[in-house]
């Protein structure tokens, strides 16, 4: 029997579907993150290059940095879909994604600062890569602040979506700075991409942990979008029946 997926574009139909998916994503998030961190902390070499035990922070730092960039792209995508097709659920998804994305960017900065203190002797440096991640977090905060400042939800959705589109250029700049073909041109304290020359078991830990954070993002975004749906449709009949 064929399934019409377009019906889930309606918040009323998406709400129960999200409720069924949330436990699945939570189980995957806990399992994958737990395995990835265990593998990274206990099944990888004691020394990587010229670094010692503190290098293990990459199993968190790399994952949240990836998620911060990926979630911004998803926030822009949902906002663009909302602007083009005028779909309420798309704007709700963008709003829900912004909180988790801001959290990932914040954890990336904090974990990077801890790493920097041990590795470079300073908590912060106006390194291009660090600065661009800081700007990315400010873009998330700006999106959230702008959306909260406008009382009309439809206008807030549209204005925030436009703001996110303007800031989209930051994501490829961050990616390029970490994967710069010529590191000398980047003039950066930050190490090169974690993929370059890394051992297979270390790479396994990073990828599994990143996948676990991905599942966590899905779970929290779906939880938040269900709350947004209830807040916006509080006066509808279907919400009254819940």
pLDDT for the residue 201: 80
All residues at 6 or more sequence positions from 151 whose CB lies less than 8 Å from its CB, including other chains: none
CB 194 within 8 A of CB 115: no
Comparing 95-109, 139-153, 160-174, 190-204, which segment has the lowest mean pLDDT?
190-204
pLDDT for the residue 171: 76
pLDDT for the residue 1: 45
- Tell me the mean pLDDT in the region 33-53: 74
pLDDT at 204 over 50: yes
Long-range CB contact pairs, 7-11, < 8 A, 24+: 9/87, 9/89, 9/90, 10/89, 11/88, 11/89, 11/92, 11/229, 11/232, 11/233
pLDDT at 238 over 80: yes
- Tell me the mean pLDDT in the region 28-33: 98
What pLDDT, in 10s, does the model give residues 216-229?
Answer: 999 999 999 999 99
What pLDDT, in 10s, does the model give residues 15-27?
Answer: 999 999 999 999 9
pLDDT for the residue 71: 96
- Comparing 6 with 159, which gets the higher pLDDT? 159
Rounded to whole angstroms, the Cα distance separating 10 from 32 reads: 31
- Comparing 97 with 188, which gets the higher pLDDT? 97
Mean pLDDT of the chain: 85
- Comparing 122 with 69, which gets the higher pLDDT? 69
DSSP single-letter state for residue 19: H
Q: Report domain extents, the chain.
A: 12-241
- Comparing 180 with 137, which gets the higher pLDDT? 137
pTM for this predicted structure: 0.86
pLDDT grade, residue 242 (50/70/90)? confident
For residue 34, what are its two tokens? 């737990």
Rounded to whole angstroms, the Cα distance separating 33 from 37 reads: 6
pLDDT for the residue 202: 81
Q: What is residue 47's three-state secondary structure?
A: coil
What pLDDT, in 10s, does the model give residues 149-199?
Answer: 999 999 999 999 999 998 887 777 776 666 555 555 555 555 555 555 567
pLDDT for the residue 161: 96
């Amino acid at each position: 029997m064929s399934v019409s997926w377009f019906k889930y574009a309606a918040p009323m139909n998406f709400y129960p579907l999200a409720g069924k998916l949330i436990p699945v994503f939570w189980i995957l998030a806990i399992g994958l993150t737990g395995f990835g961190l265990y593998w990274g902390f206990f099944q990888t070499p004691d020394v990587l290059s010229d670094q010692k035990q503190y290098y293990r922070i990459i199993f968190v730092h790399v994952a949240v940095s990836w998620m911060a960039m990926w979630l911004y792209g998803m926030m822009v995508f949902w906002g663009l879909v909302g602007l083009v097709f005028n779909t309420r659920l798309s704007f709700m998804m963008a709003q829900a994604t912004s909180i988790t994305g801001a959290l990932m960017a914040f954890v990336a900065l904090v974990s990077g600062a801890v790493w920097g203190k041990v590795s470079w002797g300073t908590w912060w440096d106006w390194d291009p890569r660090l600065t661009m991640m800081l700007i990315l977090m400010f873009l998330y905060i700006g999106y959230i602040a702008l959306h909260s400042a406008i009382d009309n939800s439809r206008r807030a959705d549209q204005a925030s979506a436009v703001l996110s589109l303007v800031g989209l250029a930051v994501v490829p700049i961050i990616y390029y700075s970490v994967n710069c073909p010529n590191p000398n041109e980047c003039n950066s304290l930050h190490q090169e991409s974690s993929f370059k020359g890394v051992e297979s078991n270390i790479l396994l830990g990073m990828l599994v942990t990143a996948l676990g954070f991905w599942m966590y993002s899905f779970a929290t975004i779906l939880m938040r979008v269900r709350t947004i749906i209830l807040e916006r449709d509080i006066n509808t009949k279907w919400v009254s029946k819940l």
